[in-house]
Structure 1
Amino acid sequence: MLLEPVIKKNFKFKWILLIAAIILITTMITLMVIGAFMLNQKTIYKNVYIESVDVSRLSKEEANKKITEILNSEIDNHQLELKHNEKIWIIPYSNIGYRYNYDEAVEKAFSVGRKGSIWNRIKEINSTRNKPLFISLSSSYEGAKLQPLINEIRKEIEREPIDASITRINGSFRVKEEILGHKLLEEQLLKLMEDRIEGFSSEPIKIPTEIIEPQLTSIQLDEIKDVLGEFQTTFNPSSEGRATNIRLASESINNRLLMPNEGFSFNEATGPRGLEEGYQIAPVILNGKLVPGIGGGICQVSTTLYNALVRADLEVVRRQNHSLPVAYVPLGHDATVADGYIDLQFINNKEYPIYLVSYTEGDQLYVGVYGKRTDHVTISLDSKVVGVIEPQIEVRKDPNLTAGERRVEREAKRGYRVTTFKVYYRDSKEIKREEISTDYYRPVKGIVAEGIAPTVGENSNSNTEGGGEEAAEETIEEEPPTEPSPDEATGIPEEAIDEDSSAGESTQGEAKPQVPSIGQ
């Protein structure tokens, strides 16, 4: 009787253990069945997204198809927008071969809950049930397609700067505004495009450019409004050839703009001065005589320019006087030129641009220098003759003239030594004077023919005593050595220098057929 309670107690405990074992086994079997079902699922687990697309319970093929349909349309509607001023470029992402790596994303989505131990797999599967898992899509594009697009943009954007320009029409200056240049900053643009593409952004891109400033602006040219120096000379318009040459040379230096420190050459500005360029034959001085030559009158333009330059207080760096006086300006005020030999050159020594105006009107040749006047000083020239050289007279016996008969073959002309001063005035009062040149104008030897033929009825033999030609040679007067002319000092033949006769309209040209070395 004492053992009966103990037996009953053990029996009850065994039943409890049995029930517990059954429950445990059942639970384990249930878990194993559930786990096997979960782990052997053929679709993507619940709450898994690719980007914003839910791919839960889809096979890999179904997931790939779904995201391709949805996201490809997104690519088709996505584009790069580039702006420059008012111009806009639209570049669809499809044009650069943009695409998503769908297969890679689907594989990642499908691998959720399928890696690691059973416990880790079940744990990851349960985790996604409570908290969605988002998988990002990687993308790619054809970067090589960006450069051709940039090249096209560069063609439309880039341009060289255009300087402001100035012209003088009907006595008034007209200034045309400058145009800024633009240079595309290609590397910066490429980086911006890559950043937008990689971020799948549609934010507009402001195309980076560098502004290239022109060298000459309207602000600078607006300063050109004052007459700094001007001069005019008179010519004979009825002398057609010479008038044409003056007009052509004047036009070649008209409307010339010079920046600070910029130099000017008369010969370079006018260029070749031959028949092909329209220059004509006009009277020139050759060996003291008037003969036809090409370009007669050009030196009147260089001389008129020189006088305007001096009055504008510009730096004349090269100038030479004629070998003989000219009629259209006083001694010491002239400037000759000869292509390849003698030039008139100056430098704009101002701090602002200057502008040359030159034209002919009627019998007047005008040259003006315009710019910005900074003072109230006026300038003129004053020349002093410091020496007069009397010419020699050569008498040649001429058997074709009767005794006592004389004929002037070449008119004698005096030579001069001249000092020229640049005189500064303020309020009509002289404030300064400086010597700018010392010039020499050579004398011209006169030639007179004197007859030696007998008069009618006179013994013809008396004419030949001592030998006719020998007697003539003995009567020639030799000219003593004189100071060399500027032309001789530089090795330039006299006939290469453009000079005027005392009549004011007989000017020697740049070159003549008689002077092959000049080449015009």
Structure 2
Amino acid sequence: MKKRIASLIISVCLCITAALTVKADTTADKQTALDGIYIENVNISGMSEEDIDQVVQAKIDELSQCRIELYVGKHGTTIMAGDLGLFAKDTKIARRAVDLGQRGNVLERFETGRQMKKGPLVLEIQYQVDQDKVKSMIADQCSQLSHPAINMSLRREKDGTFTPIPGQDGAILNEKKAVKTVMNFFSDEWRGGDAQITLDADIKPAQGDENQLSKVKDVLGESSTDYSSSLANRRTNIENGTEKLNGKVLYPGEELSVLESVTPFDEESGYAAAPSYEMGSVVDTYGGGICQVSTTLYLAVLRSELEVTERFNHSMLVNYVKPSMDAAIAEGSKDFKFKNNTDAPIYIQGYASNGELGFLVYGHETRDRENRTVTFESETTKTTDPNTQVREDSKLPFGQKEYRDGHIGKEAVLWKIVSENGQETREQVNESTYNMTPNLTSVGIKGGSTEAIKKLENAITANDPERVDEVLAQYQSASLPKAGSDEE
């Protein structure tokens, strides 16, 4: 009896299994999604796999227009999600949608059916972006968002008081981490819509507080020079360069590069073409005259007894300060740098108007001004007078001369003299060498005879001015018309 019951149960189970198998085979032949299935908010009931793929792509196209704001610190840029190559991470989502409730084992299909009785079954698209496009975007656009810290600063008011100006932290983008952050955001968090992403960055805190800046009250050193005789373009350059340095604040230990502060020397930066020294000659360059700005600041820095870390003299003497008191700057070769070696911030005030250029350095005075004085003395140790150099000029008519004055050469030393409580000490600040340039005489050869030019060239090669004059006298007198001729 028990055997017969067991056989009956087995037979029933086999029948049920067969029936379910037939049902599965029948439904598996259906190539459209069952009723009540959605891709996000789109009803795909009765749709084929191809139709569902189009639904997914339409969703990608729609969301590609979403605005994504990317931030490095407080600096940001906006792109579209599509710029990053947005796509569906699950490339077989359409196939899965069609298979729901129609393929798989008995328990899977049973569970799907049970869920669908409760309400629509919604499939979420998992989004992703192209890693290569993310890397490119980070490198090309977001790296420019990195910014240095802007330290708390000061503004000098008309009444002579100082007003604190808030600073701003800096942020330097970490490109490798930023790429990972963007990739993870789209794959794990984003479900569409506009969004903001804060990219990974190394934060550089701004320096300064009101307590530090409140110490800035005293004039540590000052200097002025005259530029009233300068041409208009040179005046423009002096006033423009001074304005770029005016208001600079340096914290203890901080170094200032004057060259970095006033460059680039171009029209867009407010400079004009004016005379400057270049390779032993005077030529017009953008920013000509800027060295008077760096020189005037140099003297104020010396009198403030700040630490000079880099300084160059001019190649030739300048007329607005004594030898060894200058500080030349030139893109790519010369800079003037100094460091704040005091216990408080310093503030640089610069002015240039009515032909007077000046700088004042404000800070916290700790020196004994009553019993201690500091002066600077220029000592010339060698002088070289210009010699005379003769050269030919093929553009000038034969025998015509043009003259250009040279420059005296000098070697000089700058001394710092400190008098304190009746005791005097002398310390060498710098040593400077200024090149001599010759007095130049250009002699024209254009239109002269072959013989005359050859003799003149020989005299010029020998750099013999007297012989040059003899040749010119010989051939110029020979070319004069005879008395009584038609050419008289």
**TM-score, normalised with respect to structure 2:** 0.51
Identify if the C-alpha distance between structure 1 residues 219 and 293 changes in structure 2 by more than 3 Å, giving closer, same or farther.
same
What is the aligned partner in structure 1 of residue 232 from structure 2? 240
- Compute the displacement of 1:316 (Å): 0.2
Identify if the C-alpha distance between structure 1 residues 277 and 474 changes in structure 2 by more than 3 Å, giving closer, same or farther.
closer
What is the aligned partner in structure 2 of residue 383 from structure 1? 378
Identify if the C-alpha distance between structure 1 residues 402 and 446 changes in structure 2 by more than 3 Å, giving closer, same or farther.
same
- Compute the displacement of 1:443 (Å): 0.2
What is the aligned partner in structure 2 of residue 446 from structure 1? 439
SS at match of 2:375: strand
What is the aligned partner in structure 1 of residue 316 from structure 2? 324
Matched, 1:425 2:425: no
Question: Letter of the aligned partner of 1:391 in structure 2?
Answer: P
Output one character per residue of 1:391-450: Cα deviation in whole Å (capped at 9) or x when no partner: 2211346796787x8x453213220010111122347x6632100111100100122246
Identify if the C-alpha distance between structure 1 residues 255 and 237 changes in structure 2 by more than 3 Å, giving closer, same or farther.
farther
Matched, 1:296 2:283: no
Output one character per residue of 1:191-236: Cα deviation in whole Å (capped at 9) or x when no partner: xxxxxxxxxxxxxxxxxxxxxx974222211111111010011102
What is the aligned partner in structure 2 of residue 270 from structure 1? 262
Matched, 1:231 2:223: yes
Report if the CA contact (8 A) 1:311-1:378 is conserved: no
Matched, 1:409 2:403: yes
Structure 2: distance between partners of 1:371 and 1:316: 17
Question: Letter of the aligned partner of 2:458 in structure 1?
Answer: A
- Compute the displacement of 1:468 (Å): 3.5
Q: After TM superposition, list the pairs within 5 Å mapping 1:12-411 onto structure 2.
A: 165-170=153-158, 172-176=160-164, 215-236=207-228, 239-286=231-278, 290-375=282-367, 376=369, 377-396=372-391, 407-411=401-405
Question: Letter of the aligned partner of 1:425 in structure 2?
Answer: S
Identify if the C-alpha distance between structure 1 residues 171 and 319 changes in structure 2 by more than 3 Å, giving closer, same or farther.
farther
Structure 2: distance between partners of 1:237 and 1:447: 25
- Compute the displacement of 1:357 (Å): 0.8
Structure 2: distance between partners of 1:244 and 1:339: 19
Identify if the C-alpha distance between structure 1 residues 220 and 447 changes in structure 2 by more than 3 Å, giving closer, same or farther.
same
Report if the CA contact (8 A) 1:164-1:175 is conserved: no
Report if the CA contact (8 A) 1:398-1:472 is conserved: no
Of the candidates 423, 431, 454, which is equivalent to residue 467 of structure 1? 454
Report if the CA contact (8 A) 1:396-1:472 is conserved: no
Structure 1: distance between partners of 2:206 and 2:458: 77
Report if the CA contact (8 A) 2:256-2:338 is conserved: yes
- Compute the displacement of 1:373 (Å): 0.8
- Compute the displacement of 1:162 (Å): 10
User: Alpha carbon RMSD of aligned pairs, Å?
Assistant: 3.5
Structure 2: distance between partners of 1:229 and 1:392: 40
SS at match of 2:376: strand
SS at match of 2:242: helix
Of the candidates 455, 463, 480, which is equivalent to residue 476 of structure 1? 463
Identify if the C-alpha distance between structure 1 residues 238 and 305 changes in structure 2 by more than 3 Å, giving closer, same or farther.
closer
Identify if the C-alpha distance between structure 1 residues 311 and 477 changes in structure 2 by more than 3 Å, giving closer, same or farther.
farther
Report if the CA contact (8 A) 2:274-2:285 is conserved: yes
SS at match of 2:317: coil
Deviating more after overlay: 465-474 vs 435-444: 465-474
Structure 1: distance between partners of 2:231 and 2:349: 24
- Compute the displacement of 1:348 (Å): 0.6
5+ long unaligned stretches in structure 2: 1-148, 170-204, 466-488
Equivalent pairs: percent with the same residue? 32
5+ long unaligned stretches in structure 1: 1-160, 182-212, 455-459, 479-520
SS at match of 1:172: coil
Structure 1: distance between partners of 2:234 and 2:336: 20
**TM-score, normalised with respect to structure 1:** 0.48
SS at match of 1:409: strand
- Compute the displacement of 1:351 (Å): 1.4
Q: Which has the larger radius of gyration?
A: 1
Question: Letter of the aligned partner of 2:347 in structure 1?
Answer: Y
- Compute the displacement of 1:245 (Å): 0.9
Aligned length: 278
